[in-house]
Amino acid sequence: MFRGLTIGEFAQLTHLSVRTLRRYHESGLLEPASVDPASGYRYYTADQIPAAQVIHRLRELGVPLNDVAKILATEDAAERADLAGGHLRRLEEELDRTRAAVVSLRRVLRPGDDGLDVELRAVAAKTVAAVEGVVDHDDVLARYGEAMAELDAAVAGLPPLGPPGGRYANELFTGGRGAVLVYRPVADPPARGTGAARGAAGRRARRRRPFRIP
């Protein structure tokens, strides 16, 4: 009687190692079609190859096992897209952090190559629309991008009065977590609680008193 493909044969067809297939079986991610009760041998069918290939591809892209299981378990295309989109956003954030680290490292290794002149000066106080919150040091770049997107939506149509910027508490660098304020200078920033500026995490663009930016 044909029992199916052995685990070795299935591994060759799917490019998943025997060890990986065993781990997926134990976790319930990809169970064999049958298991011989006497020998414990695992057998698979050709119908399981597409699922195995999807798992292989998702794992190559670094999708966590829990998310892979959820993607396989749902038949809702929108839910699958949300799960995949969440991982894509994590990849993009990691890529942004990597790019920033590369730029920073190059400046450390070749401090004179960029030809930048650094000048410390005082500037006049200005009114800004701002988003503030307490974040972890590792999340600064991602949060800065999110805050800028909120501010762009909040001040759309208002003439800019200068470049955007940010203020960072010393605790962010000494303790790994601290307050961050991201701003855009505008003459009449939206009042606190403006719907267009409300972020997913509850941060808001708000009217602020003028302050001095060192």
Contact between 158 and 186 (Cβ < 8 Å): yes
Bridge partners of 193, per DSSP, are none
- Pairing outcome for strands 128-136 and 34-35: unpaired
| DSSP output for 161-188 | -S--EEEE-THHHHTSEEEEEEEEEBSS
- Here the tokens at position 165 are 């910027």
Predicted TM-score of the model (pTM): 0.41
Bridge partners of 160, per DSSP, are 186
- Here the tokens at position 86 are 């969440």
Single-letter code of the amino acid located at 57: R
pLDDT tens readout for residues 110-150: 766 556 677 787 877 778 888 888 999 888 888 888 888 88
pLDDT at 63: 81
Query: 77: which DSSP letter?
Result: H
- Here the tokens at position 194 are 């403006």
Burial class (CB in 10 A: 0-12, 13-18, 19+), 192: exposed
pLDDT at 205: 38
